[in-house]
Structure 1
Amino acid sequence: MELLQINHSLFRFINDLGKQFPSLDPIIIFIAEYLAFILAFGVIIIWFTRHRQHRRMIMSALIAFFLAEILGVIASSVHFNNQPFYELTNVNQLITHEVDNSFPSDHTILFFSFCLTFWLFQRKGGWMWISLAIGVGISRIWVGVHYPFDVAAGIILSTFAAMIAFQFTTRLLVVDKVLIFYEKLEQRIFPNLKKKDSQQQHNNGKTTHV
């Protein structure tokens, strides 16, 4: 069976699940369309916990995402296909989407760049993040806007980018220097946070010596 046939067959299998289980469609639509906003909100919350390792993780995820997007642009110049709802008949299209090159899946790149980075930094419970990213990829097929190979390409590119970014942010001293510079700048803009941070460090020190 040719790759194109495999791609179409896998798409039909997943996309037809929306016809078989229509009660799940609202949940899938939410995951496919709006979960990105929750991810963005979560990233902001994590950043402002003011924990340096958390900020290193977010910085790594952002680098991974931008690198994966660049790789995605290169990949899209090599291969082109429109969305399934435009190319195929009887597609169960659940969300509106403009017609353009759907290869690779940008949503998959976004979620795998961040979620895989979170897993690299926090292995304990990290599979929750991987499961979330996989769920987003499947949802984009379910709603009819991406082929499985679009999603697979997004996974491969973002995985490569996340591994590179992880090595960069955990091994190079320049990352620490950037974070320290930012923290000093933040303390000047929000001086009250400095006292809060100092008190928290003091409390942590007391706890450590108990």
Structure 2
Amino acid sequence: MPGLETTGANPDVDLLYDINGLAVDAPHWFDRVMEWVGEYGIMAGLGLLLLVCWWRARSSRDPVPAVAAVVWAPLAALTAVVVNIPIRGFVERPRPFLDHHGLEVLVSGKDDYSFVSDHSTMAMAIGVALFVANRRFGLAGIALAFLEGFCRVYMGVHYPTDVIGGFALGTAVALLLAPPAMALLTRLLHVIGRTWAAPLARAGGPGAPGGEHPGRGGEVSTSRRQKDLAA
């Protein structure tokens, strides 16, 4: 690909050396921390963020669509990674440490193609989808996604443009596919809300607000209580 040349002087390679050069000069223990954070830690943090956001969405005024928005976040990440499979196969960009010497590579076994970064794609897809569901949690998720992208370059396993491409792919999937995904997930969660698995869709049992139709559950419960009092 002409725009992804890995030889010669270009800003992509220069920035790669600048960021990865921090790993060369850093203490060994700090590099080990960054390796764990970039490979596992940030994704675990995003998973925890998803759980907290889901728990709070269950107790919102209109829980079913709120939970559907949260559920879309990990599904968006998975969809984006699947979309990335043919992209990687088409571009066929080698990992930066295969073409450039002197890099500090913090994780071994990366023998697949480099463009685009799966970790950056998943992290940004989750962050953007969470932003649609809840701005505060979404901003935290997007901040973690940017940190993930920095870590991938710091670790010497991706070019900066691999990360930028991942951010773009994750954002596009999370936003463009959100309307149909939300419609399907909301319908599915309404069905789940009438079963024993109702707590997955909202706080409380099948009679809780949001169980039948958004905004009607409370009215039904109030009407039943009035009839019981009259009897």
Which bin holds the TM-score, normalised by the shorter protein?
0.7 to 0.9
Shift of 1:3: 5.5
For 1:208, the equivalent position in structure 2 comes to none
- Which deviations, in whole Å up to 9, do the C-alpha atoms of 1:81-103 show, x marking residues without a partner? 22222222111111223311121
Query: TM-score normalised to the size of structure 1?
Result: 0.78
For 1:183, the equivalent position in structure 2 comes to 193
Consecutive unaligned residues of structure 1, counting only runs of 5 or more, are: 206-210
CA distance in 2 between partners of 1:181 and 1:119 (Å): 25
Contact 1:76 1:104 in 2 (8 A): yes
For 2:34, the equivalent position in structure 1 comes to 28
CA distance in 2 between partners of 1:44 and 1:182 (Å): 18
CA distance in 2 between partners of 1:189 and 1:152 (Å): 38
Q: How does 1:1-150 map to 2 (within 5 A)?
A: 4=5, 5-22=10-27, 24-35=30-41, 36-47=43-54, 50=58, 51-124=63-136, 126-150=138-162
CA distance in 1 between partners of 2:50 and 2:4 (Å): 37
Contact 1:85 1:91 in 2 (8 A): yes
Gap change, CA 1:134 and 1:81, over 3 Å in 2 = same
How many residues were matched structurally? 198
Query: TM-score normalised to the size of structure 2?
Result: 0.72
- Which deviations, in whole Å up to 9, do the C-alpha atoms of 1:116-155 show, x marking residues without a partner? 1112222246332211100001101101111111111111
Larger Rg: 2
Code of the residue aligned with 1:10 in structure 2: it is L
Code of the residue aligned with 2:161 in structure 1: it is F
Shift of 1:40: 2.9
**Identical columns (%):** 22
Shift of 1:21: 3.4
For 1:159, the equivalent position in structure 2 comes to 171
- Which deviations, in whole Å up to 9, do the C-alpha atoms of 1:17-64 show, x marking residues without a partner? 112333642442232112223333443454455343442123321342
CA distance in 2 between partners of 1:91 and 1:61 (Å): 34
Q: Please, what is the CA RMSD of the aligned residues?
A: 3.1
Greater share of helix: 1
Shift of 1:8: 1.2
Identify which range, 14-23 or 114-123, moves more after superposition: 14-23
Shift of 1:168: 2.8
